[in-house]
Amino acid sequence: MTTAVPSDLPPAADLTPAGQIAKLRHGDPGERYYAAWWLGRMRIPEGIPALIEALADETDRTTQGGYPLRRNAARALGKVASPAGIPALKEALRCSDGQVVAAAAQALVEIALANNLDRDPRQAEELGVALLEGLRWVEQGLQTEAPAALEALIEALGQLQVAAALGQIRPYLEHPSIRLQCAAARACYRLTGDPTFVQPLLSVLSHPNIHLRRAALLDLGASGYLPAAQAMAAAAVEANIKLLALKQLVELNLRRGKEAGTDLHQVLRLIDELL
């Protein structure tokens, strides 16, 4: 998920934590949007209270019902990666803007992984319950950007390995949206370790739509399924995206504590060949 950066940057004198916190609280919409991005990009913990306030902002709203400032505030809290942002991000999972829900789900994962909360049974269960409730909330009929929210929530449940979510995620393997099929396949593999769930992702690598090929490639990287490495390296996708996906494949397996055996060495060799 990418964040647009306003082209009219503030004066250099404003590029301090105190200056950007003030802009976030009292600036015009463009200044506030940029300030939220900057505080996240620079990982400024002092900005957390202002970012939490921005996550409940009602003033910056599009005609379609979106909340641009809230989206950036959620992303920024994920980048800062402090558990202090968790309660507000959980609340944001029930926002009427699906892009805010998606950003909040992704931010919760970033915070959990940065602080090893996924390895704490109590913390992991609390996050899992919140994400599952968020998924049910979106399924009830969210009108604004619902597909983005569904995709992010399914991915988050897989990343945090919320076993209780398997039954709710599996139906998305048959969803009309290929993106949601891919998200579900990736999550189901993370939850079960069953390689049959990876096959849909491998099939999408040959899809005529390059955007779907890119998405499947990144989902394979996030799945941690090492036998997919050769197919990932051979996919008709830009080399920089292949590198990103293969590096994610390596990092995920190292995080799991997998030793650098033959499979990992093969992925590293494929990365070297792409450089």
pLDDT tens, residue by residue, 35-86: 999 999 999 999 999 999 999 999 999 999 999 999 999 999 999 999 999 9
Q: For residues 88-105, b (16+ Cβ closer than 10 Å) or e, as one string?
A: bbbebbebebbbbbbbbb
Mean pLDDT, all residues of the chain: 93
Nearest to 76, CA basis, from 38, 28, 108: 38
The answer, yes or no, to whether residue 14 has pLDDT greater than 90, is no
| Single pTM value for the model | 0.91
If pLDDT is split at 50, 70 and 90, which confidence band does 143 have? confident
The two three-digit tokens of residue 273, written as one number = 């060949």
Q: Using a CB cutoff of 8 Å and minimum separation of 24, what contacts does 67-71 make? A: 67/95, 67/97, 67/99, 67/100, 68/29, 68/33, 69/29, 69/32, 69/33, 69/36, 70/95, 70/97, 70/100, 70/103, 71/3, 71/97, 71/99, 71/100, 71/103
Contact 210, 236 (CB under 8 A): yes
User: For 172-213, how does the pLDDT look when each residue is reduced to its tens digit (9 = 90+)?
Assistant: 999 999 999 999 999 999 999 999 999 999 999 999 999 999
Burial tier of 26 (Cβ tally within 10 Å: 0-12, 13-18, 19+)? exposed
CA distance 127 to 157: 9
